[in-house]
Amino acid sequence: MGSPDPLDFYAVGALLSDDERLVRDTVARFVDREVTPIIAECFAAERFPVELVPRLAELGLFGATIRGYGCAGLGYTAYGLICEELERGDSSVRSCVSVQSSLVMGAIHQFGSEEQRSHWLPELARGAKLGCFALTESHGGSDPARMRTRARRHGGDWTLDGAKHWITNGALADVAVVWAMTDDGVNAFLVERGASGFESRVIKNKMSLRASSTAELAFTDVRVPESARLPEANGLKAALQCLDEARFGIAWGACGAARDCIDTALRYTESRELFGRPLNQTQLIQTRLADAVRKLAGAQLVAWRLAQLKERGAAMNAQVSLAKWSNVRAALDIARDCRDMLGAAGITLDHSPMRHMLNLETVITYEGTQSIHELIVGRALTGQSAF
Ligand code: TGC
Ligand code: FAD
């Protein structure tokens, strides 16, 4: 009979196509060889490993679900697997791919003109350019509808004034997708690095996602042409549609972080001897491991099913929200318990669970906090908006 794989208890891997397995194994090899060996040091040094960007591009991981424009044209399950394997390495690497793919390339692909698509997408796909997605403002990220960044029309041009906060890759990006209020509601603008009046400042001393670069952006009378406005991004709905894509990737990514934590705890408790026997022969450790695997297995099945719905264009916003919040919550709880099973050793960067745990504190906050997703699900259950 044998035993199920602890890291894939219900054999989700067996549901994958040969192509999907190839994607998963290729990204897994990349993570084992190029991310895992350097990531603790990057986390300690608060350094985003920019040297990985060309490799991520070579592997076709930027804009992977987009067809044409030099992108891989993969399905949603493959995109999910990419996110899962990358986040097994570190949430910061998955974050970079989520922002570039779902938020920047996704926005340009879905809401841009053909000229904007042909200009930007191939460059972003081959990693020659990096992008960022600037929606959040310091006075209230959960409520972007009340944004204060303003775009005013002057003949054929626009001027942007305002500030954005907590922007992944904000100080590294060649182009920012900036969401701003106009007289006709929310619009999105492509603002290039170096534009006069556009400044960025890296946010230091983060205790989470330290291997990711996060910045504040300031816009003072930044002049951009009408051709920099995404013509189809009319209203906050467009930004929220981009977020749905990224939230989907996070639901998968969380499974990767959780897998790495459980894998570490399984190996550690096997070799650690206490009270004359290996730790993994104690009842308490076994029930804790079983509980971690229960949470992971549920998260994996939700992620897999959500991908099936997305492939058919049938995934609803509330389903994405439940998956994002529930899977990240599961991964965070798993990471904390695995950290504890390693005792004091678990608080060091020699082992991954605490790094994942700290990262997941950001992951449960960005792209909509747990409370926001609970309220989105609550609205779907009752038909009443509590916002
Ligand atoms: P609301 O009235 O609910 O909606 C406005 C319009 O948008 C539509 N809509 C959606 N469309 C697509 N997908 C969704 N998930 C949608 N949710 C709503 C809605 O139907 C409506 O359309 P219409 O036609 O009627 O105009 O808007 P609201 O102002 O009440 O806000 C709703 C709320 C709170 C759910 C929304 O503001 C929200 O999701 N807040 C959380 C903000 C957030 O997630 N920010 C993320 C910033 S980006 C980021 O964190 C990147 S991290 C990247 C990384 O490093 O990985
Ligand atoms: P707030 O909105 O101030 O929320 C504070 C608390 O209030 C939370 O617990 C929240 O759940 C709770 N709350 C809010 N509303 C309600 C309510 N109605 N009822 C009950 N409780 C409520 N943003 C971008 O635009 N682009 C990025 O690339 C990006 N990258 C990020 C990277 C990092 C490392 C981090 C930490 C954040 C990033 N963000 C980004 C911002 C992120 O999306 C916001 O932090 C998030 O949306 C929450 O906003 P806030 O931090 O202002 O918290």
Residue 166 pLDDT > 90: yes
Residue of the nearest CA to atom 8 in ligand 2? 369
Q: Mean pLDDT across the stretch 232-247?
A: 98
* pLDDT tens digits, 47-60: 999 999 999 999 99
Q: Which ligand is nearest to the CA of 206?
A: 2
Atom of ligand 2 nearest to the CA of 386: 18
Tokens of 322: 């439940």
Determine the Cα–Cα distance for residues 210 and 81; give it in Å rounded to an integer: 23
Q: Mind giving me the DSSP string for 275-307?
A: TTEEGGGSHHHHHHHHHHHHHHHHHHHHHHHHH
Amino acid at 132: C
Catalytically annotated residue among 41, 137, 367, 374: 367
Instruction: Name the residue of 48, 138, 142, 186 whose CB sits within 8 Å of the most ligand 2 atoms, as the mutation to test its pocket.
Output: 142
Q: Mean pLDDT across the stretch 36-40?
A: 98
Determine the Cα–Cα distance for residues 125 and 58; give it in Å rounded to an integer: 9
Q: What whole-number percentage of the chain has pLDDT above 70?
A: 100
Burial class (CB in 10 A: 0-12, 13-18, 19+), 366: buried
Atom of ligand 2 nearest to the CA of 387: 18
* pLDDT tens digits, 131-162: 999 999 999 999 999 999 999 999 999 999 99
Instruction: Name the residue of 166, 240, 247, 324 whose CB sits within 8 Å of the most ligand 2 atoms, as the mutation to test its pocket.
Output: 166
pTM, 2 dp: 0.98
244, 98 contact by CB (below 8 A): no
Q: Residues with beta carbon inside 6 Å of ligand 1?
A: 95, 98-99, 133, 135-136, 141-145, 168, 235-237, 240-241, 243-244, 246, 317, 366-368, 372, 376, 387
For the question of residue 367 being annotated catalytic, the response is: yes
Residue 377 pLDDT > 90: yes
pLDDT confidence bin for 1, thresholds 50/70/90: confident
Cross-strand bridge partners of residue 198: 219
Q: Whole-number mean pLDDT of the chain?
A: 98
pLDDT confidence bin for 276, thresholds 50/70/90: very high
Q: What is the pLDDT of residue 63?
A: 98
Q: Mean pLDDT across the stretch 300-309?
A: 98
Residue 40 pLDDT > 90: yes
pLDDT confidence bin for 323, thresholds 50/70/90: very high
